[in-house]
């Protein structure tokens, strides 16, 4: 009866197979058979040498004897599994030990299959195909899991960022602010929060339309990003036309300097505003609060203080910062 042939895709690629046996005749005969099937064979007559070859060639599969002088096949399987982290090299034991406990010990050591010697070439070939199929499924699972991980990263980016401006959104700000407060406490440095609100933005929309309003918010976001440009600074879209700046290691004087810079840059960037009571260009009002080193202030309290200061800046005439 002819041997059942495996599917063509299973039979297609040749494998690199590490054959380990202290009996030269057995090893030679297996190697010869695998060679005839078109596989690349590397041979070792003891477990230590096999491990060396494993690390050097990273074979697709290990076919190993169990009983060998000094270190046995179980030792080899354990070493291979330790070095296989994140991957999986199939290991098939070929052994003359027939006790059920020998089989169990071989599998426990890390082997995927355990065949009794002498193994029929057709059985060996069928086992190779089964292992190859498992490896392919494993690779597919790995690819799926990588894709899932990438999708999760993208999902988190979307969940934390604002679609219009690309800045952190409110949820991203909350996460970020908690981390910044913790870091400020641990490092004993002052943390400043600034809330900026576009003045008379409703009138801007009414005069130029919502599309122009969106463009304006993108320009405002880009300018704020340029101004708060230290790697640890972050800028978020807090709400419609409100932005929050989280400025680690920034004392009150540093915050005032940045506030002046913001007012100056918006004056010189001259985003025209056709209907503002403040200036002929887009202006911002801002509220500043600084958390002194060593004080533990919750995020909600800091945001509330910044909001109160912003309200003050608005009531004092806009286009200014208050703290």
At how many degrees (to 10) do helices 170-187 and 121-160 cross? Answer: 90
Residue 245 CB, nearest approach to ligand GH3 (Å): 17
Q: Hey, which residues between 111 and 170 contact ligand GH3 (CB under 6 A)?
A: 164
Q: Which of 307, 293, 223 is nearest to 258 (CA)?
A: 223
Tokens in use for 198? 């576009």
Q: Hey, which residues between 7 and 36 contact Mg ion (CB under 5 A)?
A: 22
Site for Mg ion (CB under 5 A): which residue of 60, 112, 125, 197? Answer: 197
53 binds ligand GH3 (CB under 6 A): no
Buried/exposed code over 207-221 (b: 16+ C-beta within 10 A; e: otherwise): ebeeeebeebbeebb
Tokens in use for 308? 């109160």
DSSP letter at 281? B
Classify 248 as helix, strand or coil.
coil
Of Mg ion, ligand GH3, none, which one sits near residue 102, judging by CB under 5 to 8 A according to partner kind?
Answer: none
Classify 22 as helix, strand or coil.
coil
DSSP letter at 317? T
206 binds ligand GH3 (CB under 6 A): no
Stretch that binds ligand GH3, among 12-20, 104-112, 113-121, 196-204 (CB under 6 A): 196-204
Catalytic-role residue among 99, 125, 241, 242:
241
CA dihedral 139, 141, 146, 151 (to 10 degrees): 150
Site for Mg ion (CB under 5 A): which residue of 54, 93, 160, 201? Answer: 201
Distance CA 107, CA 44 (A): 21
Site for ligand GH3 (CB under 6 A): which residue of 39, 127, 132, 200? Answer: 200
Active site residue 70: no
Residue 214 CB, nearest approach to ligand GH3 (Å): 5
Q: Which of 46, 106, 3 is nearest to 18 (CA)?
A: 46
67 binds Mg ion (CB under 5 A): yes
77 binds ligand GH3 (CB under 6 A): no
Q: Which of 6, 5, 9 is nearest to 136 (CA)?
A: 9
Stretch that binds Mg ion, among 135-143, 154-162, 197-205, 212-220 (CB under 5 A): 197-205
Site for Mg ion (CB under 5 A): which residue of 15, 39, 63, 65? Answer: 65
Rama region for 30: left / alpha / beta (φ>0; ψ in -120 to 50; rest): alpha
At how many degrees (to 10) do helices 121-160 and 24-36 cross? Answer: 70
Task: Kindly report the backbone phi and psi dihedral angles of residue 289, in degrees, each rounded to the nearest multiple of 5, phi listed first.
Answer: -135, 140
Distance CA 272, CA 166 (A): 23
Residue 10 CB, nearest approach to ligand GH3 (Å): 57
With 0-12 / 13-18 / 19 or more C-beta atoms within 10 angstroms meaning exposed / middle / buried, residue 224 is buried
Site for ligand GH3 (CB under 6 A): which residue of 46, 102, 199, 233? Answer: 199
201 binds ligand GH3 (CB under 6 A): yes
Classify 8 as helix, strand or coil.
helix
Q: Hey, which residues between 232 and 251 contact Mg ion (CB under 5 A)?
A: 241-242
114 binds Mg ion (CB under 5 A): no
Please say which residue, 60 or 241, places its beta carbon nearer to Mg ion: 241
Please say which residue, 10 or 67, places its beta carbon nearer to Mg ion: 67
Stretch that binds ligand GH3, among 81-89, 150-158, 210-218, 249-257 (CB under 6 A): 210-218
202 binds ligand GH3 (CB under 6 A): yes
Residues interacting with ligand GH3, by CB under 6 A? 164, 197-202, 205, 210, 213-214, 217, 240-241, 314, 318
Point out the residues that are catalytic.
Answer: 241
- Applying CB under 5 A, the residues found at the interface with Mg ion are 22, 65, 67-68, 197-198, 201, 241-242
């Amino acid at each position: 009866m002819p041997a059942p042939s495996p599917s063509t895709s299973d039979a297609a690629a040749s494998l690199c197979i590490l054959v380990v046996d202290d009996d030269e005749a057995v090893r030679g005969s297996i190697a010869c058979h695998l060679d005839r099937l078109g596989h690349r064979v590397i041979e070792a007559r003891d477990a230590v040498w096999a491990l060396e070859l494993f690390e050097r060639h990273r074979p697709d599969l290990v076919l190993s004897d169990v009983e060998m002088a000094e270190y046995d096949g179980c030792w080899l399987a354990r070493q291979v599994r330790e070095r296989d982290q994140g991957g999986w090299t199939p290991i098939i034991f070929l052994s003359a030990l027939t006790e059920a406990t020998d089989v169990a010990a071989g599998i426990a050591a890390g082997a995927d299959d355990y065949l009794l010697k002498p193994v029929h070439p057709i059985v060996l070939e069928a086992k190779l195909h089964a292992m190859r199929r498992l490896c392919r499924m494993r690779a597919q699972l790995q690819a799926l899991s990588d894709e899932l991980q990438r999708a999760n990263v993208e999902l988190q980016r979307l969940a934390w960022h604002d679609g219009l401006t690309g800045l952190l959104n409110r949820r991203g700000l909350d996460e970020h602010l908690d981390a910044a407060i913790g870091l400020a406490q641990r490092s004993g440095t002052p943390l400043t929060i600034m809330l900026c609100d576009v003045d008379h933005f409703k009138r801007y929309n009414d005069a130029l339309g919502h599309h122009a309003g969106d463009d304006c918010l993108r320009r405002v976001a880009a300018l704020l990003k340029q101004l708060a440009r230290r790697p640890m600074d972050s800028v978020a879209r807090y709400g419609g036309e409100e932005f929050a700046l989280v400025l680690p290691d920034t004392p009150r004087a540093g915050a005032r300097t940045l506030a002046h810079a913001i007012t100056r840059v918006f004056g010189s960037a001259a985003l025209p505003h056709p209907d503002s009571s403040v200036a002929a260009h887009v202006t911002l009002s801002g509220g500043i609060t600084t958390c002194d080193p060593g004080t533990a202030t919750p995020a909600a309290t800091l945001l509330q203080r910044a909001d109160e200061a912003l309200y003050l800046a608005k009531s004092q005439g806009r286009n200014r910062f208050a703290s």
